Amino acid sequence: MYIENNIISGCIDGVYVDEHTGGTVYIQKNIISGNTGAGIELGPNADGSRVEVKWNNIIDNGYGIDHEGSNEVEASLNFWGNPHGPSHDGINYGDTVDGSIDFQPWLVAESAGEEITRELDIAAPMLGDGYVGLEYLAELPMQPNVGSILEWSLYSGSLPDGVEILSGITLYGTPTAAGSFSFALEASNGTQAVYRNFSLNVATEYTGSGPAVVTRSPVPYETGVAVDAPIVIVFKEPVQLSDNYQGYINITNPEDYYEIVYKVARVQTTVINNDTLVIDPTYNLRPATTYEVAISAGIVTDSEGNSFAGSWRFTTGDQVIPLAITTAELPPAAEGQAYSAQLAAAGGVGSYTWSLVDGSLPDGLSLSSSGQISGTPLSAGNWGFTVQVADQSGATATRQLSIIVSPAPDTTPPTVVEKAPGNGATGVPVNVAITVEFDELVQAGENLNGVTVAPPGGTPIA
């Protein structure tokens, strides 16, 4: 028997079923509203296993379904006048269901009569223990068996103080009190919804093995994060980079899995402790982009070798820091000597590409695309030029710079041009002044005592 495509309103009981025989009663695609008793009343002799209620709008009745008979009634995929489903067992939302009734999943908005056949079904994950004063992070299932990504919300009960649902995806926070907490969470894909029961134990003392997190920044699923913000994790105990650390931690854009940034992570040691890990991206991140930070097992450990591993996402804000060249001047160079200087920039998006756009570098020097000026200058002088930096978005910035190249040091000894008296001269007056003229300016050296006047083979007289 089919009871379908009706508007049933203004009755005591909209639909009454009792002592039926001969097959299943299908109550579907109806608008059942405004009935003072029950929208659907199943009498004491009704067999719930032979009643199916689907795709109805059951709204503003005394009861949605009142089942006084035996066996469970299949009553999924109905709208109960509230996106959180019907009222039951002391939980107050839409029309009330009473008796053995399976109403999950329900529709979150009024049914248009579409025969939805794939029902949302998702298992509740087991939640790990939390600890007072330490960060709690538990990812909830995101991809259901049907439909779009799930969004989770609190259905009934209370979360531990300090813990909340972030972005409909993650349980996150810092528990402030110990205890055992029971609650139900609702998962919706925008069309259907279900609830699942959870329990979470919060202990006073940490009993885990790996380094426990006290705080992290940005927090999971935080939005509006500055593109130049460092990523910081504070642990409960001192941590260190393991011996097999490869020099980078992934910061990726999970939408296209394109690796944007690699950067050496460092443990920030203060005068108090060394429990803080700072990840500072080499380049600014892209604005309005979601990133995932992934720290693999074995990178960060405590003194006993216990490892921390984890990943989380955040989204940068719309603000772009203007691209600018921060190198104000370059060190001087010397003719014939190796030279190296690195240009620096700030702001913009992603990595930088450098080029020379005006003037010229000293002969023998070149500029790489990474901003390194290197080579060996071939001639002295003051060389002016303009460099340009471009970021991954195509933005550019320029700056005029110069390099002064000093002459190569003179390593050739002075040459005598003229001397008086000359070599082999005779009849020289005894009071004559002895002079030596060189081809360049000279000065007294450190060993001035090495200049002597003496007869050949005789004793110096000056």
Q: What is the pLDDT of residues 281-332, one digit of tens each?
A: 766 777 888 888 888 888 888 888 899 999 999 999 988 788 999 999 999 9
Give the pLDDT confidence score for residue 458 in this predicted structure. 61
**DSSP E strands, 174-316:** 179-188, 192-203, 213-217, 222-225, 231-235, 240-241, 249-253, 258-263, 265-268, 276-279, 290-301, 307-316
pLDDT at 118 over 80: yes
SS3 state at 354: strand
SS3 state at 131: strand
- Decide if 330 contacts 341 (C-beta within 8 A): yes
Give the pLDDT confidence score for residue 351 in this predicted structure. 80
Cβ contacts of residue 129 below 8 Å, gap of 6+?
200, 201, 202, 203, 207
261 burial level (CB within 10 Å; 0-12, 13-18, 19+): buried
Its pTM stands at 0.71
What pLDDT digit, counting tens, does each position of 191-226 carry?
999 999 999 999 999 988 889 999 999 999 999 998
**DSSP E strands, 302-379:** 307-316, 324-325, 333-334, 339-342, 345-346, 353-359, 365-367, 372-375
What pLDDT digit, counting tens, does each position of 51-79 carry?
999 999 999 999 999 999 999 999 999 99
Distance (Å, whole) CA 223 – CA 291: 11
Nearest residue to 337 (alpha-carbon basis) of 382, 381, 378, 384: 378
105-119, 362-376, 404-418: which has the minimum mean pLDDT? Answer: 404-418
Distance (Å, whole) CA 288 – CA 349: 11
What's the average model confidence in pLDDT over 423-452? 77
Distance (Å, whole) CA 167 – CA 290: 13
- Decide if 128 contacts 210 (C-beta within 8 A): no
What's the average model confidence in pLDDT over 9-38? 94
Give the pLDDT confidence score for residue 265 in this predicted structure. 38
What pLDDT digit, counting tens, does each position of 221-275 carry?
999 998 888 889 999 999 888 776 666 677 777 665 444 443 333 332 322 258 9
Residues in the chain: 462
Give the pLDDT confidence score for residue 282 in this predicted structure. 64
